[in-house]
């Protein structure tokens, strides 16, 4: 008698995308990869699953420290070693139950089904037990967060300590902002279309948006959407660009005929904005040490119909690339710890280490010292970071001014510096310092 073949059990909808999300999350948490690189390491899912994948990956990293604490509490007995992807899958399951609108039964079924992909016969039962126990003990688990700072804030303890030390009156608002999804800001290309006309285009297509009061090209969407679906995006009418980053063009204030250096230009947003805001610019030199990221900047300029001289080189070593002609304006968008853009890049909470602060500060000082001689007398250097750490911002500029007699602030018209904290008027966290070179 021939045995009847049984069809394999049917997978719950969404199982595959949860497997992929767990592998991406594990690549960040266990291997130290950036989220961007982790996404690129795997074939993309079908278009219908892309939004869900991004929500699972970004959300589970945004709340990583709380989720990891909960998993530890929910394990009845240790299972060592736990496959990193399986551990990530548990965190993703808990994320769905707390922050997503997926019905609980569907989230549990798809997450438990995804456990089969990790090759351990006990995995499904193990994941199921963790998620079911969370459903039963949700209230008591919430109460047990009290006093566990990493779990309460969903930030590493050292990072919260930095925020409290630098911003004793604001640190809680910073943490809260970091744990929210970011808004979607646009920058209208003034060379191609007026902002009012672009807002009319958005309205005609049912896309709700509003203009920023003090930024002439900035538009805030009520709901984020894939940038490729924005009207006129391919044609270069608009770019995705946080309002905080759009302040650079105002602060640097280039004038027609001037020679401008964007010293750390990739991926090209600020460089493009400078060219859009000053059509009569004499020359724009865009420099970056990363060839791949510089290629992204080149593509962005091409999409927008803009031109710049692109150079792949280290800004801290001008002898290798500088032609000896001074610049009237220098934009130094300095490498930093990026603690001001955590809500946009939640993997920063997992990847950043305390030692990174001092290393970034040392690199920033080398760049300032190397680029200052390239600035013409009477010219302006705009120092920008996307962090909130005083060591990389105000302290850095204070020390540079003290050691550089020819460096002056720009007086009342351009205050010497400004720190924007995450969430302030819906912006990311940025620091600006505009320094004039004495004539």
Q: Among all residues, which ones are annotated catalytic?
A: 386
Q: Are the beta carbons of 184 and 220 closer than 8 angstroms?
A: yes
Rounded Cα–Cα distance for residues 313 and 288 (Å)? 6
Distances (CA, A) of 29 to 96, 154, 202, 275, 347: 18, 14, 39, 39, 8
**Which residue carries 């309205």 as its tokens?**
203
Rounded Cα–Cα distance for residues 289 and 229 (Å)? 31
Identify the bridge partners of residue 384 per DSSP, sorted by sequence position: 333, 432
211 membership: H or E segment, kind and range:
strand 209-211
Checking phi first, is residue 287 left (phi over 0); if not, alpha (psi -120 to 50) or beta? beta
Distances (CA, A) of 80 to 76, 84, 87, 411: 13, 11, 11, 61
Burial of 82 (0-12, 13-18, 19+ CB in 10 A): middle
Burial 336-372 (b: 16+ CB within 10 A, else e): bbbbbbbbbbbbbbbbbeeebbeebbeebbebbebbb
- State whether residue 10 is helix, strand or coil: coil
379 membership: H or E segment, kind and range:
strand 375-385
Q: Are the beta carbons of 433 and 404 closer than 8 angstroms?
A: no
In this structure, the number of other CB atoms found within 10 A of the CB of residue 168 comes to 9
In this structure, the number of other CB atoms found within 10 A of the CB of residue 9 comes to 8
**Which residue carries 């070593």 as its tokens?**
317
Q: What SS3 string covers 42-108?
A: CCCCCHHHHHHHHHHHHHHHHCHHHHHHHHHHHCCCCCCCCCHHHHHHHHHHHHHHHHCCCCHHHHH
């Amino acid at each position: 008698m021939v045995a009847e073949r049984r069809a394999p059990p049917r997978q719950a909808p969404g199982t595959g995308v949860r497997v992929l999300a767990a592998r991406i999350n594990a690549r960040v948490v266990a291997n130290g990869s950036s989220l961007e690189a982790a996404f690129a390491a795997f074939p993309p899912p079908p278009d219908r699953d892309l939004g869900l994948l991004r929500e699972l990956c970004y959300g589970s990293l945004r709340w990583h420290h709380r989720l990891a604490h909960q998993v530890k509490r929910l394990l009845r007995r240790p299972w060592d070693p736990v496959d990193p992807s399986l551990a990530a899958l548990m965190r993703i399951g808990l994320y769905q139950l707390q922050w997503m609108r997926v019905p609980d039964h569907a989230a549990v079924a798809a997450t438990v089904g995804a456990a089969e992909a990790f090759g351990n016969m006990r995995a499904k039962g193990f994941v199921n037990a963790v998620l079911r126990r969370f459903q039963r003990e949700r209230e008591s688990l919430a109460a047990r967060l009290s006093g566990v700072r990493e779990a309460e804030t969903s930030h590493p303890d050292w990072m919260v300590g930095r925020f409290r030390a630098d911003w004793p009156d604001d640190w809680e608002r910073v943490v809260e902002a970091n744990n929210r999804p970011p808004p979607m800001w646009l920058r209208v290309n003034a060379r191609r279309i007026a902002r009012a006309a672009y807002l009319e285009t958005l309205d005609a297509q049912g896309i709700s948006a509003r203009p920023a009061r003090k930024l002439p090209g900035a538009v805030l969407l009520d709901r984020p959407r894939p940038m490729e679906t924005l009207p006129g995006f391919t044609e270069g009418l608009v770019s995705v660009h946080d309002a905080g980053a759009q302040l650079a063009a105002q602060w640097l204030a280039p004038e027609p005929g001037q020679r401008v250096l964007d010293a750390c230009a990739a991926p090209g947003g600020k460089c493009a904005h400078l060219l859009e805001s000053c059509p009569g610019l004499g020359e724009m030199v865009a420099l970056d040490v990363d060839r791949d990221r510089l290629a992204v900047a080149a593509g962005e300029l091409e999409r927008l119909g803009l031109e710049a001289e692109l150079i792949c080189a280290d800004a801290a070593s001008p002898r290798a690339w500088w032609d000896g002609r001074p610049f009237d304006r220098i934009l130094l968008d300095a490498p930093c710890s990026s603690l001001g853009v955590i809500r946009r890049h939640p993997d920063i909470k997992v990847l950043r280490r305390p030692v990174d602060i001092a290393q970034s500060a040392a690199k920033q000082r080398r760049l300032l010292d190397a680029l200052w001689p390239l600035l013409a007398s009477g010219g302006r250097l705009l120092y920008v970071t996307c962090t909130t750490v005083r060591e990389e911002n105000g302290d850095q500029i204070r020390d540079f001014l003290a050691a550089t007699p020819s460096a002056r602030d720009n007086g009342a018209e351009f205050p010497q510096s400004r720190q924007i904290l995450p969430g302030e008027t819906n912006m990311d966290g940025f620091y600006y310092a505009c320094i004039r070179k004495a004539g």
